[in-house]
Chain A
């Protein structure tokens, strides 16, 4: 039995895995202590649970538990890593490098640094969404102190060459931060090998709860940060604030499950993704956004030409997906990620991100394929642009009335 709308938006957030929920609930209820309470068992047991979760998070990414700092989520981790490192190392230089397709949490933070007097370079990506290492090398300056590149893009799912970027940065003595919010449980991460100094994580993209994330802060060679949240001195002074035990326990369990199950889960997801891919690319005039090889297994981003984005979303309300538009107060802005790939605004608007996950079934994929085929067909019947395209009119040569 299908349940509508079918959830195909796992990159936006994932349901909490029932096994994760089962581990969390006792820490929400009977074991409710404040992990900072040192004078009674309620506090001690909470602290112990927090430390066990820290080990579990570290284990998934090949880090030492001492290198994991709890935060309220990947957005806070990104802010802490970027501002914290930039502020600490600003004596060495004030230039930061990032990429045009980063998440807002990185881009807006870098913009904030610019307002404070830092300089930033926003690297272009290639048509496949990946950065060109030569472009990165050329952007590095003597005063570059920080490079921040996401592991996996949230919209198009491409996997950036983190290992290679790490080598370049380490060689030049530049701090390297990676936003890995979309990567955990999807790609192998071994911080023992990767030359990454700071890495941001989120629980709710990996079947854990919202409101909890972590920042990896390398100890060897040691990376220093200026705290952004001050107070009781929790998390070795790097992030003050009472720790939410149940959320931390949830993140630990979610990451433990990811480590155990990612190999088999990713194989299954790739099978479903390919089924979806085959079912949709049969539709004429569709374009896959982002490299199909250097890509996480659960993401498919496709542009459907000659149909308008909003009417497309309206037509497929039986599935819950993200579109190539970001909702601002009054209008729809085309995705800056798709624009960075060179897609025009119309194509960006008529793009759909399908992100599948642990609870997606073959039946749901088949329904989706059928739905898209039917609705794209119907909208194109309605579309004067489709008619012109079929008549061989070059739409780019048309003089559109100013509007």
Chain B
């Protein structure tokens, strides 16, 4: 499997790896995938009072493309409102990382992780 340079870069130097403290203010978590499918992504966002994502962290069990997709997403969501974050589409992720067709599901999973994190945020902050 030949990986693109961008995938390799994110795989070798993943951005924003980690977890927030459970009780930190404004933190929401999206966990998608399943071990049996070979990918589990945990994306956490920390949303400010103004509704802007201040920080994001991830952990991923998965192939290099899955790790790169989630790493990329943590970079992209920062500074966006949660609505803007929802506009990130898997096709953009796939394009940015030059994912081959057999790895498109990794970008879909990353998009799902954003949706799940936002859903968790909304559930916790039901206005």
Q: A and B: real partners?
A: yes
Docked-complex contact B31 and A401, CB < 8 angstroms: yes
A382 within 8 A of B: yes
A167 within 8 A of B: no
B41 / chain A contacts, CB cutoff of 8 Å: 384
A309 / chain B contacts, CB cutoff of 8 Å: 38
User: Which residue in chain A gives the minimum CB-CB distance to B19?
Assistant: A387
B64 within 8 A of A: yes
Nearest chain A CB to B119's CB is how many angstroms away? 11
A307 within 8 A of B: yes
Docked-complex contact A385 and B61, CB < 8 angstroms: yes
B69 within 8 A of A: no
Docked-complex contact B34 and A382, CB < 8 angstroms: no
CB < 8 Å neighbour of B33 from A382, A395, A400? A400
Complex CA distance for A136 and B16, rounded to whole angstroms: 55
Docked-complex contact B34 and A400, CB < 8 angstroms: yes
Q: Chain A contact residues (Cβ within 8 angstroms of B): what range? A: 20 to 34
Complex CA distance for A187 and B125, rounded to whole angstroms: 67
B1 / chain A contacts, CB cutoff of 8 Å: 310
Complex CA distance for A332 and B1, rounded to whole angstroms: 12
Docked-complex contact A346 and B17, CB < 8 angstroms: no
A90 within 8 A of B: no
In the complex, chain B residues 72-127 whose Cβ is within 8 Å of any chain A Cβ: 102, 109, 112, 116
Max chain A C-beta neighbours (<10 A), residue from B3, B34, B102: B34
Complex CA distance for A395 and B31, rounded to whole angstroms: 13
Docked-complex contact A330 and B67, CB < 8 angstroms: no
CB < 8 Å neighbour of A308 from B3, B31, B63, B116? B63
A314 within 8 A of B: yes
B42 / chain A contacts, CB cutoff of 8 Å: 384, 387
CB < 8 Å neighbour of B31 from A307, A344, A383, A384? A384
Given A331-B102, A387-B59: A314 in contact with B35 (beta carbons within 8 A):
no
B27 within 8 A of A: no
A344 / chain B contacts, CB cutoff of 8 Å: 36
Docked-complex contact B36 and A308, CB < 8 angstroms: no
Docked-complex contact A308 and B62, CB < 8 angstroms: yes
Docked-complex contact A314 and B61, CB < 8 angstroms: no
Docked-complex contact B35 and A395, CB < 8 angstroms: yes
Given A384-B31, A387-B19: A403 in contact with B37 (beta carbons within 8 A):
yes
Given A387-B19, A403-B33: A306 in contact with B38 (beta carbons within 8 A):
no
B26 within 8 A of A: no
Complex CA distance for A398 and B73, rounded to whole angstroms: 25
Given A384-B41, A384-B42, A403-B109: A310 in contact with B35 (beta carbons within 8 A):
no
Docked-complex contact A308 and B14, CB < 8 angstroms: no
Given A345-B36, A346-B36, A403-B37: A311 in contact with B63 (beta carbons within 8 A):
yes
* B residues in contact (CB < 8 Å) with A: 1, 3, 11, 14, 17, 19, 31-42, 59-64, 66-67, 102, 109, 112, 116
* A residues in contact (CB < 8 Å) with B: 306-311, 314, 330-332, 344-346, 349, 381-387, 395, 400-403
What would 19 more interface pairs be, CB under 8 Å, given A310-B62, A383-B60? A306-B61, A308-B66, A309-B38, A310-B38, A314-B63, A331-B102, A344-B36, A346-B35, A381-B17, A382-B14, A382-B59, A382-B60, A382-B61, A384-B61, A385-B61, A387-B19, A400-B33, A400-B34, A403-B112
Please give me the 3 A-B residue pairs with the lowest Cβ-Cβ distance, nearest first: A400-B34, A310-B63, A384-B42
